[in-house]
Amino acid sequence: MICMNFKDVEPIQVREIKYEGKSLKVKGTTIRWLTHRGLGGEEYQHNHALRHFTIAPEGEVPVHSHKYTQIMYLLSGRALCTALSQDGKREEREIGPGDFIYNYSFEPHGMKNLSTTEPAVFLCCIDCVDDKENCVPTY
């Protein structure tokens, strides 16, 4: 068994993400990989990863997509979640503590902190695909 506090996991600043061949700037966002290869000295043996994100006031993760599905659960703050449908229609939803978002594989999506003073904090669970490299911290 591995038992830790999320504060024991080093936060990593997310500076950019790739989408449609472009590098997009990520504003004011950190990630802590709560499950990943090497945690506790063991090889990663799961089919999922749990990550802890903090988006600073007015921070943003721009619209992007990836092969894996994800579920995001907002712990604190208020955020605007954006998704683009296959026909390009933009859908936006404001979420608060206790709300969750499910993003399908390859569904373009993004999140922006709506506050000018408080962080938005959420957990994000992803499935590990193919060689599971998406479940290894790379930022």
How confident is the model over 15-59, as pLDDT tens digits? Answer: 999 999 999 999 999 999 988 655 555 555 678 889 999 999 999
Residue 6 within any structural domain of the chain: no
Residue 43 within any structural domain of the chain: yes
Residue 20 within any structural domain of the chain: yes
Beta bridge partners of 71: 102, 125
Which CATH number covers residue 121?
Answer: 2.60.120.10
Q: Which pLDDT band, with edges at 50, 70 and 90, does 94 fall under?
A: very high
The predicted-structure confidence for 54-89, as pLDDT tens digits, reads as follows 999 999 999 999 999 999 999 999 999 999 988 889
Residue 93 within any structural domain of the chain: yes
Tally of domains within the chain: 1
Residue 75 within any structural domain of the chain: yes
Which pair of tokens denotes residue 126? 């992803």
Rounded percentage of the chain residues whose pLDDT exceeds 90:
70
Q: Which domain holds residue 70?
A: 16-135
What pLDDT score was predicted for residue 1? 73
Decide: 55 and 119 in contact? Cβ < 8 Å: yes
